[in-house]
Amino acid sequence: MYYFATPHVNVNVRTNELDFKKLTRNEKLCKALEEVGIKIFLPYRDADQSLSGKDLLEKELEVIRNCDGVIVALSDTRGIYLEAGYAKALGKKVVGLTVEETREFSEWGKAFFDYIAKDTEDLINYFKNA
């Protein structure tokens, strides 16, 4: 199973068109990955959203501790990099996925990831060949 770190943790953030677009993108990405047999944990879909912030964080950290790795939608949102750093510190695989809002990475930043996929198809091919 892979934890999918995305710009949004909670579906209640659907406050504007951009948020809705990101959430729709995340759901399509998960569906595409799951259709080829990659089990995904998407926090706002798979975690109990009635949990307190602290309990939700503990649940997400538990999932990261027990998963194969983390897929990161390379967004301009800082929170996803906390999840990626935690996974990396645990020796988990950390795979980046370029999305619309991805900024250019330095060579040091690129070195953090085991792989950076340019799109969904590239990501799926990476997992098929891994």
Contact 15, 81 (CB under 8 A): no
Mean pLDDT, each 10-residue run in order, the chain (130 residues): 80 63 87 95 88 89 97 82 93 93 83 95 93
SS3 15: coil
Domain count, the chain: 1
pLDDT at 126: 96
CATH code of the domain covering residue 30: 3.40.50.450
Domain extent at residue 79: 2-129
Q: Check residue 16 and give its pLDDT.
A: 67
Residue 106 is predicted with a pLDDT of 84
Query: Tell me, what's the pLDDT at 52?
Result: 85
pLDDT for 103 equals 82
pLDDT number for residue 94? 97
d(CA 19, CA 59): 24
CB 60 within 8 A of CB 73: no
- CA 67 → CA 2, 40, 64, 90, 101, distances in Å? 6, 9, 5, 11, 26
pTM comes to 0.88
How many CA atoms are closer than 13 Å to the CA of 20, on its beta-carbon side?
4
| CA 124 remoteness from chain centre | 14
